[in-house]
Amino acid sequence: MQILFLGTSCMFPTKERAQPCVLMIKNGSYLLFDCGEGAQRQLRIAGISPMKIHNIFITHWHGDHSLGIAGMIQSMAGNKRKTALNIYGPKGSKKRVACLLKAFDFKIEYELKVHELDLKLGECRPVLKAKDFTISAFRVKHGSATLAYVFKEADKRKINIEYTKKFGLVQHPVLGKLQKGLDVEYKGKLIKAKDATYIKKGKKIVYLTDTIYFKDLKNLIKDSDILICEATYMSDKEDKALEYEHLTAKQAGMLAKESNAKKLVLTHFSQRYENVQPLIKEAKSIFKNTIEAKDFLILELR
Amino acid sequence: MQILFLGTSCMFPTKERAQPCVLMIKNGSYLLFDCGEGAQRQLRIAGISPMKIHNIFITHWHGDHSLGIAGMIQSMAGNKRKTALNIYGPKGSKKRVACLLKAFDFKIEYELKVHELDLKLGECRPVLKAKDFTISAFRVKHGSATLAYVFKEADKRKINIEYTKKFGLVQHPVLGKLQKGLDVEYKGKLIKAKDATYIKKGKKIVYLTDTIYFKDLKNLIKDSDILICEATYMSDKEDKALEYEHLTAKQAGMLAKESNAKKLVLTHFSQRYENVQPLIKEAKSIFKNTIEAKDFLILELR
């Protein structure tokens, strides 16, 4: 499992940072979260064909999070794509994608499926269920209708080797049954799945950007392995953060702590901060395991 | 006068080349020709604020030539722009810009003036007349309604110093009158403007991309100082060039020669050519003064 940061700026792209875009790769599934301007070029620079992407999750339709969609659609069309592309976004997304198709001169031979998610505040609903993972969305508080996304690897039942060894069980077909959660009888002895196996929780990654801090947020994102969170401003600009409905680095740190995150990755930095180290420091003072997202940073999860 | 190449790729951006975009700067006027995806970021990398741009000339609405417009509009809005932005393009441009505004969540406090140019083939019409220059457009042959643009500096009447010296005229108000093309009487002698002055022709720059070769093209672009021309394919791919309605490097060289250009700048290279030197060589074999456009290349004209 990999997370590749393709864009880590805020509204204005800078020399070092493209607009928001994060790619998660899980067993051959390429999942794009937000698609700022230049996403297709960032992918190419990273050596990844846009053709690999089948699912794009848009938080909201402010341009910095969505301007790159038209280019992705066009490049895929230019490559004579035939397989469907899924775009997930808040209410209104269907109309917006339809407008995009009218704005540019495209010929598309593949299906463009737009999934509109009209969620109530506090509700968290699965939007894509795959064999290995589920992606859910919940609503946050921003001017434009905005979602946050939760990637959750499927939990896996693992064999408790120390326990099964006691029965002389090594590389035996009954282990497969145990792994499916079934009790088995082996050489006249009953082996219960609940004793011979344990559940290894799948990784949880939260993509949270463009919201103010609100009461239920910590519950919606709780126990993440990685919390990818905006840190648009320093806390001395909390008024500005509130005005534009963004989080400060301090609030990101608080959220990581309160929600019991394992690691916090800060992104979506305002262009006013050429050096973002003070923002990282601010969050770190509250939540130690904080790092800075940079364009082309890769996080490997094992 | 400067020409700054901000994007020199074809449909697919590459690591080295962004989608088509050329900036011409003349006495404080910043004129953008085409606006591929990432144009706003390319401008920022070049150290130029998008706020300086008041006129964007779109050849056509294939994405590679126009995807960056929405980002420019958004960034200008984000910077609280109040002055108007002019967008020039072929018939249908008004509807397309209106669709763009509906696709993204924008709040714009400035006027967006879209100038639709519905030209017949062979017709060349001025679309922007300024004190120092005129920009004209003509129609080319491409699948989508497509324009090419001609930037023409105003001609200037200059004093023939050798001639006026004979009358003892150095730094005298009557020189100003001569420069306006008026005949003057000085110390009882008639000095005719036609003898005492000469016309210095303004520079002519042609921006020509996305067309097939056709009979009248050489007349529409004749006597340019700089011909910026697509060279999407090598001539061994002439069939492909015709199929997708593009020019080969050889055809670009022929056009430069036949139209009496002074300098040919090749751009809009297909991604298939990682090294474009063979294309430059092909055009050079026909028209010697040929160079390659690269992203961030600056041409100074004096």
* Non-local CB neighbours of A7 within 8 Å, separated by 6+ positions: A13, A17, A18, A19, A20, A21, A22, A34, A36, A38, A39, A42, A295
pLDDT band at A144 (very low <50, low <70, confident <90, very high): confident
CB B19 within 8 A of CB B37: yes
Task: Report chain B residues whose CB lies below 8 A from the CB of A11.
Answer: 74-75, 78
CB B4 within 8 A of CB B46: yes
pLDDT, position B302? 81
pTM: 0.94
Chain B residue nearest residue A92, CA to CA: B103
Q: Which residue has the tokens 């984000």?
A: B78
CB pairs under 8 A between A and B: 113
Q: Where are the alpha helices (DSSP H) in chain B?
A: 39-45, 63-66, 69-78, 93-103, 161-165, 173-179, 193-196, 217-220, 238-243, 249-258, 277-284
State the virtual CA torsion across A216, A217, A219, A220 in degrees, nearest 10. Answer: 120
A→B contacts (Cβ < 8 Å), by residue, are 11-15, 18, 37-38, 40-41, 44-45, 60-64, 66-68, 70-71, 74-75, 78, 95-97, 99-100, 102-106, 143-144
Q: Which residue has the tokens 């939540």?
A: A287
pLDDT of A61 strictly over 90: yes
Residue to substitute from B16, B104, B270, interface A, most A β-carbons within 10 A: B104
Phi, psi for residue B104 in degrees, rounded to 5: -115, 160
* Non-local CB neighbours of A25 within 8 Å, separated by 6+ positions: A1, A2, A3, A4, A31
CATH top-level class of A2-155+201-300 = alpha beta
pLDDT, position B138? 97
pLDDT band at A302 (very low <50, low <70, confident <90, very high): confident
**Cα separations (Å) of B222 from A274, B207, B259, B266, B286?**
47, 12, 4, 17, 17
pLDDT band at B169 (very low <50, low <70, confident <90, very high): confident
For A115, the 3-state DSSP assignment is strand
* Non-local CB neighbours of B150 within 8 Å, separated by 6+ positions: B124, B135, B136, B137, B138, B204, B205, B206, B207, B221, B224
State the Rg of chain A over Cα. Answer: 22
State the virtual CA torsion across A47, A48, A51, A55 in degrees, nearest 10. Answer: -160
Please state whether beta strands A156-159 and A146-153 pair in parallel, antiparallel, or not at all (unpaired): unpaired
Q: Which of B18, B95, B97 sits opposite A41 (nearest CB)?
A: B18
A115-129, A156-170, A244-258, A274-288: least confidently modelled range: A156-170
Phi, psi for residue A294 in degrees, rounded to 5: -120, 155
* Domain ranges (residues) in chain B: 2-155+201-300, 158-197
Determine the average pLDDT of the residues in B154-176. Answer: 90
Tokens of A19: 């607009």
CB B39 within 8 A of CB B32: yes
For A198, the 3-state DSSP assignment is strand
Please state whether beta strands B290-292 and A184-186 pair in parallel, antiparallel, or not at all (unpaired): unpaired
CB A192 within 8 A of CB A181: no
Per-residue pLDDT reduced to its tens digit, B56-83: 999 999 999 999 999 999 999 999 999 9
pLDDT band at B106 (very low <50, low <70, confident <90, very high): confident
- % of chain A exceeding 90 in pLDDT: 93
CA-based max dimension of chain A:
71
Contact B68 A37 (CB under 8 A): yes
Tokens of B121: 């083939």
Task: Give CA–CA dist A35/A53, Å, rounded.
Answer: 12
Whether B34 is a known active-site residue: answer no
pLDDT of A275 strictly over 90: yes
Q: Which of A14, A18, A71 sits opposite B67 (nearest CB)?
A: A71
User: Please, what is the average pLDDT of chain B?
Assistant: 96
Per-residue pLDDT reduced to its tens digit, B211-223: 999 989 999 999 9
CB A34 within 8 A of CB A5: no
Task: Give CA–CA dist A285/B144, Å, rounded.
Answer: 56
Reference A174, options A184, A187, A165, A164; nearest CA is A184
Determine the average pLDDT of the residues in B286-296. Answer: 98
CB A43 within 8 A of CB B70: no
| SS3 assignment for B266-295 | EECECCCCCCCHHHHHHHHCCCCCEEECCC
A250, with CB counted inside 10 A (0-12, 13-18, 19+), is buried
pLDDT band at B170 (very low <50, low <70, confident <90, very high): confident
Task: Report chain A residues whose CB lies below 8 A from the CB of B18.
Answer: 41
Contact A63 B44 (CB under 8 A): no
Contact A37 B64 (CB under 8 A): no
Q: Which of A13, A104, A144 sits opposite B41 (nearest CB)?
A: A13
Q: Which residue has the tokens 């589920």?
A: A134
End-to-end Cα, chain B, rounded Å: 7
pLDDT, position B45? 97
Tokens of B115: 């100038």
pLDDT of B94 strictly over 90: yes
Task: Give CA–CA dist B34/B89, Å, rounded.
Answer: 9
Task: Give CA–CA dist A137/A160, Å, rounded.
Answer: 34
For A61, the 3-state DSSP assignment is coil
Residue B2's CB is within 10 A of a number of other CB atoms, namely 12
Phi, psi for residue B112 in degrees, rounded to 5: -110, 105
CA-based max dimension of chain B:
71
Task: Report chain A residues whose CB lies below 8 A from the CB of B100.
Answer: 99-100, 103
Task: Give CA–CA dist B248/A196, Å, rounded.
Answer: 69
Residue A268 Cα, gap to closest chain B Cα (Å): 15
Per-residue pLDDT reduced to its tens digit, B14-51: 999 999 999 999 999 999 999 999 999 999 999 999 99
Residue B131 Cα, gap to closest chain A Cα (Å): 33
Task: Give CA–CA dist B217/B259, Å, rounded.
Answer: 8
Contact B63 A74 (CB under 8 A): yes
CB A96 within 8 A of CB B102: yes
Per-residue pLDDT reduced to its tens digit, B230-265: 999 999 999 999 999 999 999 999 999 999 999 999
pLDDT, position A244? 94
pLDDT of A149 strictly over 90: yes
pLDDT of B168 strictly over 90: no
For A152, the 3-state DSSP assignment is strand
Contact A104 B14 (CB under 8 A): no
Residue A129 Cα, gap to closest chain B Cα (Å): 28
How many residues are present in chain B?
A: 302
pLDDT of B172 strictly over 90: no
CB B151 within 8 A of CB B31: yes
pLDDT, position A257? 98
Contact B97 A103 (CB under 8 A): yes
CB B66 within 8 A of CB B19: no
pLDDT of B6 strictly over 90: yes
Burial pattern A40-72, b for ≥16 Cβ within 10 A else e, equals bbbbbbeebebbebbbbbbbbbbbbbbbbbbbb
